[in-house]
Structure 1
Amino acid sequence: MPDVARSVLDEAWGRIPHTRETSDDPGSFTQKRIERVITLLVGPACLVLGVQAFIAAFGPSDEAPGWHLSLVVGVFVPLVAMVVACAVNRFARVFSGLFAVLFMVALALWPVATSGGQAPSPTENPWIFYLINVATVATVVAFPLPLQVAWTVAAPLLFGVVRLLQAGGRPEFLLPVALDVSFALLLGSVLVTLTWMYRSIAANVDETRARAVASYAAAAATAATEHERVAVAALMHDSVLGALLAAERAATPRERTLAVSMAREALTRLANAEKDALEGSDEPMDAMALADDIEASARDLGAELTVTRRVQEGTPRVPGRVARALVLAAMQAVANAVQHAEARALSVEVTGSAEPGGVLIRVRDAGRGFDVNAIPADRLGIRGSIIARVTAVGGRSMVDSSPAGTTVTLEWESGDRW
Structure 2
Amino acid sequence: MAEIQRSVLDEAWGRIPHTRETQADQGSFTQTRIERVITLIVGSGSLVLGAQALAAALGSPDEATEWHAPLVVAVFVPLAAMILACLVGRFTRVFAGIFAIVFVVTLALWPWATAGGPAPAPTQDPWVFFLVNVATVASIVAFPIGLQIAWTIATPVLYGVVRLLQARNDADFVVPVALDVSFALILGSVLLTLGWMYRSVAANVDQARAAAVASYASAAATAATESERVAVAALMHDSVLGALLAAERASTPRERTLAVSMAREALTRLANAEKDALEGSDEPVPASRLADDIEAAANELGVQLSVIRQLDIDTPRVPGRVARALVLAALQAVANAVQHADAQGLTVQVTGSASPGGVVLRVRDTGSGFDVTSVAPDRLGIRGSIHARLAAVGGRSDIDSHAGGTTVTLEWESGDRW
TM over 0.5: yes
Q: Does 1:53 align with 2:53?
A: yes
Residues in 1 aligned to 2:208 and 2:273: alpha-carbon distance in whole angstroms: 37
Map 1:11-410 → 2, pairs under 5 A? 11-248=11-248, 259=259, 261-274=261-274
Residues in 2 aligned to 1:71 and 1:129: alpha-carbon distance in whole angstroms: 14
Residues in 2 aligned to 1:275 and 1:200: alpha-carbon distance in whole angstroms: 40
Residues in 1 aligned to 2:268 and 2:207: alpha-carbon distance in whole angstroms: 46
Residues in 1 aligned to 2:268 and 2:65: alpha-carbon distance in whole angstroms: 95
Residues in 2 aligned to 1:270 and 1:195: alpha-carbon distance in whole angstroms: 58
Residues in 2 aligned to 1:51 and 1:107: alpha-carbon distance in whole angstroms: 19
User: Please, which runs of 5 or more residues in structure 1 have no aligned partner?
Assistant: 277-281, 283-418
Residues in 2 aligned to 1:219 and 1:121: alpha-carbon distance in whole angstroms: 71
Code of the aligned partner of 2:97: G
Residues in 1 aligned to 2:89 and 2:236: alpha-carbon distance in whole angstroms: 59
Per the TM alignment, residue 6 of structure 1 is displaced from its structure 2 partner at its CA by 4.4
Code of the aligned partner of 1:62: D
Per the TM alignment, residue 232 of structure 1 is displaced from its structure 2 partner at its CA by 1.1
Residues in 2 aligned to 1:159 and 1:264: alpha-carbon distance in whole angstroms: 86
Per the TM alignment, residue 18 of structure 1 is displaced from its structure 2 partner at its CA by 2.4
> Does structure 2 retain, via aligned residues, the 8 Å contact 1:21–1:33?
yes
Per the TM alignment, residue 264 of structure 1 is displaced from its structure 2 partner at its CA by 4.1
Per the TM alignment, residue 213 of structure 1 is displaced from its structure 2 partner at its CA by 1.6
- Secondary structure of the 2:34 match is helix
Residues in 1 aligned to 2:206 and 2:65: alpha-carbon distance in whole angstroms: 54
RCO comparison, higher one (Cα < 8 Å, 6+):
2
Percent identity over the alignment is: 75
Residues in 2 aligned to 1:203 and 1:60: alpha-carbon distance in whole angstroms: 45
Per the TM alignment, residue 275 of structure 1 is displaced from its structure 2 partner at its CA by 7.3
> Does structure 2 retain, via aligned residues, the 8 Å contact 1:75–1:102?
yes
Per the TM alignment, residue 181 of structure 1 is displaced from its structure 2 partner at its CA by 0.8
Per the TM alignment, residue 254 of structure 1 is displaced from its structure 2 partner at its CA by 7.7
Residues in 1 aligned to 2:63 and 2:159: alpha-carbon distance in whole angstroms: 15
Code of the aligned partner of 1:198: Y
Per the TM alignment, residue 250 of structure 1 is displaced from its structure 2 partner at its CA by 5.9
User: Please, which runs of 5 or more residues in structure 2 have no aligned partner?
Assistant: 277-281, 283-418
Code of the aligned partner of 1:205: V
> Does structure 1 retain, via aligned residues, the 8 Å contact 2:60–2:127?
no
Code of the aligned partner of 1:48: V
Residues in 1 aligned to 2:28 and 2:142: alpha-carbon distance in whole angstroms: 18
Q: Deviations over 1:19-46 (max 9, x none)?
A: 3322243321111110111111111110
Shift in alpha-carbon separation, 1:42–1:163, aligned structure 2, 3 A: same
Per the TM alignment, residue 3 of structure 1 is displaced from its structure 2 partner at its CA by 5.8
Q: Deviations over 1:300-346 (max 9, x none)?
A: xxxxxxxxxxxxxxxxxxxxxxxxxxxxxxxxxxxxxxxxxxxxxxx
> Does structure 2 retain, via aligned residues, the 8 Å contact 1:34–1:202?
yes
Per the TM alignment, residue 73 of structure 1 is displaced from its structure 2 partner at its CA by 0.4
Greater displacement, 62-71 / 210-219: 210-219
Code of the aligned partner of 1:218: S
- Secondary structure of the 1:67 match is helix
Q: Deviations over 1:78-107 (max 9, x none)?
A: 000101111111111000000000000001
> Does structure 2 retain, via aligned residues, the 8 Å contact 1:240–1:263?
yes
- Secondary structure of the 1:116 match is coil
- Secondary structure of the 2:194 match is helix
Q: Partner of 2:407 in structure 1?
A: none
Output the TM-score relative to the length of structure 1: 0.62
Code of the aligned partner of 2:163: R
> Does structure 1 retain, via aligned residues, the 8 Å contact 2:40–2:86?
yes
- Secondary structure of the 2:103 match is helix
> Does structure 2 retain, via aligned residues, the 8 Å contact 1:61–1:126?
no
Shift in alpha-carbon separation, 1:106–1:220, aligned structure 2, 3 A: same
> Does structure 1 retain, via aligned residues, the 8 Å contact 2:107–2:162?
yes
Q: Deviations over 1:38-93 (max 9, x none)?
A: 11111111000000000011224201121111110000000001011111111110
Output the TM-score relative to the length of structure 2: 0.62
> Does structure 1 retain, via aligned residues, the 8 Å contact 2:160–2:178?
yes
Residues in 2 aligned to 1:2 and 1:253: alpha-carbon distance in whole angstroms: 43
Q: Deviations over 1:183-224 (max 9, x none)?
A: 111111111111111101101101111111222222223222
> Does structure 1 retain, via aligned residues, the 8 Å contact 2:8–2:221?
yes
Q: Deviations over 1:95-153 (max 9, x none)?
A: 00000000000011111000011210111101111000110111111011111111111
Code of the aligned partner of 2:91: F
Per the TM alignment, residue 257 of structure 1 is displaced from its structure 2 partner at its CA by 6.5
Q: Partner of 1:314 in structure 2?
A: none
Code of the aligned partner of 1:131: L
Question: Bigger radius of gyration, 1 or 2?
Answer: 1
> Does structure 2 retain, via aligned residues, the 8 Å contact 1:54–1:127?
yes
Residues in 2 aligned to 1:29 and 1:2: alpha-carbon distance in whole angstroms: 25
